[in-house]
A and B are shown apart, each in its own frame.
Chain A
């Protein structure tokens, strides 16, 4: 009964969404009350439908096919709740819920409506239709054969992992809002000021994308067991591309708001970032690219998802090319102007997204054009190719905020000069003192120093001139600087060693000694395995680490749980290999300095983004 109700509510919300679109275009209402009530009803219907599915999960209703294939009676309550979005159909329902929620929030806070929410509902309606007809989570499993359900992949029974999709969806879904605003502007153009809200909405989406991506990275680090935090996996790249485009969108809209320039860039970027997130969702679900976390899917369903993405792109760009005729205001824009800095920002970020997207798609292109040959494009390519662009971009990020609008000469010339020179010198000194002569480390550190000095300079100036301090921007950029620093140091200074140890044997890694102390058997509800105690002795203290190897009988999966000793300065990371005999193990140790700075920087960026609407003023 309840699943049928859930299905009905979904269909109802789909019709309601279509209603909103139709009325908006055929008989536009005078004020926003219609849109508010329609959006509220749509949201409530989807919300109740979501509740219905949750009830099915929490009551172990295995007559629902989706519940049977994604849950198990022995799962703890929290994981049963989260299991709703562990598979394709349910995660779509979660996405729909978040999407409808964002539309409602937008309609509530915004006065200028006309067509914006209608365009957002086009996306919502398309995905609702897709869910109802092709990916319905309420489908029944008849006759009821599977009473025990199946087990979730043990890798997924983890807090960070369950929170990561909702955060990503908050980001992806939020990108319909700039899209809607842009489309409304094209169709119903009055003044450029209409585009002003794009900036705040895209920053909020960006914050959630940042959080979602970094949660995924952190999860992979401690769960997958081998110490990496970014693999340039197709699914990771699918989230990175919209993130990069969204970053470009934020900055482009800042320029548009300030000087009415880059209007076309801003409009185009709203389409591209939404398309990027839809495409990303398609890539993850279509099975077109295999990876650690793709949902296994029918090619047929993949076709329709791709079609939706394609239609949105065509719709968006048709409107864009037909209706956009502005060239914006002409101001003085020399090479030392802030305008030019924003141009660089847009150009580089779009380039980076294109490169990442192409690298991800390339194996498909190669396979088609070579008649079936397979190829893999992975970390070596992406690292080699993106790092130079990223470093140049970060350099401009450091000096950009110090330039002036319409500036023809370098403003703040002295300050910029001091910042650049001092950073180069300091970075060189650091490399010299630590005996590390890596070029990238030198450049990376120099740029981080430039970023920090530049931010300090900005903060100081704002404070001094009693202007409002743009806390969100400074904190956001600071977060990025910390993240960059973490990446630079940990990537270039990590130490690793593989070894085989018997009980009470030791091995030296640098000046630290690792001893295998003991092996114990462990047994829990849904797994059993071994837990090994290692001691890590350095200078003045001894740390203990407890890596494990587990076997989950229900899904017949083996996992390695790494033993991690985390700290701000470095992580010690031990992962087990094969067991040898009764008490000896092959294992690998990694010492990763400042790796936590990566996620620290990301969290700061997330929080900074949420504060976009607050301004601090010093009296």
Chain B
């Protein structure tokens, strides 16, 4: 009979301990699994062609998924302009959008991107694992995804999620 109390205590402690621990855990601090990026070809907004090979030129590239129909993109836009001023190169992915509208937007609000991939069918997005906009990716050596942020990119997110990886 002695083992049953022990067993029960063990079980109760592990179950509740787990749940308590999870509550204390900061959900923002999530480990991120590196994923490999499948090579792709696409076109840019200005009509030029683009391949993922070009990303290999930089050790780190920042890809930002945006669209004119996306409300959050309006919100994060000003921060993107700030990053551009700091000298950070951002490659845009205009996701499931209309070319005319995209040009109008960039004219009206400013263009923080060095290049803009025109992904009207969402094929490039699909390869990256995009489910909507806005989303931002950090690509290493043009072939692996080291960070994928879903949602608006603001100062907090930049500081907590991206800066630590860039520093390495």
Report A's interface with B, CB cutoff 8 A: 282, 286, 288, 299, 302-303, 306, 309-310, 313-314, 317, 321, 361, 364-365, 367-368, 370-374
Question: Please, which residue of chain A has its CB at the minimum distance from the CB of B9?
Answer: A317
Which residues of chain A have C-beta atoms less than 8 A from B9's C-beta? 317
Q: A306-B16, A314-B12, A321-B8 are in contact. Are A364 and B22 (CB under 8 A)?
A: yes
Interface centre among B8, B16, B19, B32 (most CB of A within 10 A): B19
Q: Are B18 and A364 in contact (CB under 8 A)?
A: yes
| Cα of A385 to Cα of B168 in the assembled complex, Å | 44
- CB neighbors of A among B1-32 (8 A): 4-5, 8-9, 12, 15-16, 18-25, 29-32
How many residues belonging to B are interface residues under a CB distance threshold of 8 Å?
20
| Cα of A302 to Cα of B24 in the assembled complex, Å | 10
| Cα of A263 to Cα of B75 in the assembled complex, Å | 63
Interface centre among A282, A310, A361, A368 (most CB of B within 10 A): A310
For residue B33, CB closer than 8 A to chain A, the reply is yes
Q: Are B23 and A317 in contact (CB under 8 A)?
A: no
Q: From DSSP, what is the main secondary structure of chain A's interface residues?
A: helix
Which residues of chain B have C-beta atoms less than 8 A from A370's C-beta? 31
Question: Please, which residue of chain B has its CB at the minimum distance from the CB of A306?
Answer: B19
Q: Are B18 and A372 in contact (CB under 8 A)?
A: no
- CB neighbors of A among B99-131 (8 A): none
Q: A372-B30, A372-B31, A373-B33 are in contact. Are A299 and B24 (CB under 8 A)?
A: yes
Q: From DSSP, what is the main secondary structure of chain B's interface residues?
A: helix
Distance in angstroms from B59 CB to nearest chain A CB is: 24
Question: Please, which residue of chain A has its CB at the minimum distance from the CB of B33?
Answer: A373
Which residues of chain A have C-beta atoms less than 8 A from B32's C-beta? 372
| Cα of A373 to Cα of B31 in the assembled complex, Å | 6
Which residues of chain B have C-beta atoms less than 8 A from A361's C-beta? 15, 18-19
Distance in angstroms from B165 CB to nearest chain A CB is: 14
Of the residues B12, B19, B21, B33, contact of A317 by C-beta under 8 Å:
B12
Which residues of chain A have C-beta atoms less than 8 A from B12's C-beta? 310, 313-314, 317
| Cα of A373 to Cα of B20 in the assembled complex, Å | 18
Q: A299-B24, A321-B5, A321-B8 are in contact. Are A364 and B29 (CB under 8 A)?
A: no
Q: Are B16 and A302 in contact (CB under 8 A)?
A: no
Distance in angstroms from B14 CB to nearest chain A CB is: 9
| Cα of A282 to Cα of B32 in the assembled complex, Å | 28
Known: A365-B18, A370-B31. 12 other contacts (CB 8 A): A288-B23, A299-B23, A306-B19, A306-B20, A309-B16, A361-B19, A364-B18, A367-B22, A368-B25, A372-B29, A373-B31, A374-B30
Q: Are B23 and A368 in contact (CB under 8 A)?
A: no
Distance in angstroms from A7 CB to nearest chain B CB is: 27
Q: Are B20 and A303 in contact (CB under 8 A)?
A: yes
| Cα of A245 to Cα of B23 in the assembled complex, Å | 26
| Cα of A321 to Cα of B8 in the assembled complex, Å | 10
| Cα of A321 to Cα of B5 in the assembled complex, Å | 6
Distance in angstroms from A328 CB to nearest chain B CB is: 14
Question: Please, which residue of chain B has its CB at the minimum distance from the CB of A324?
Answer: B1
| Cα of A317 to Cα of B13 in the assembled complex, Å | 13
- CB neighbors of A among B26-73 (8 A): 29-33
Q: Are A306 and B15 in contact (CB under 8 A)?
A: no
| Cα of A361 to Cα of B24 in the assembled complex, Å | 16
Q: Are B16 and A303 in contact (CB under 8 A)?
A: no
Which residues of chain A have C-beta atoms less than 8 A from B4's C-beta? 321
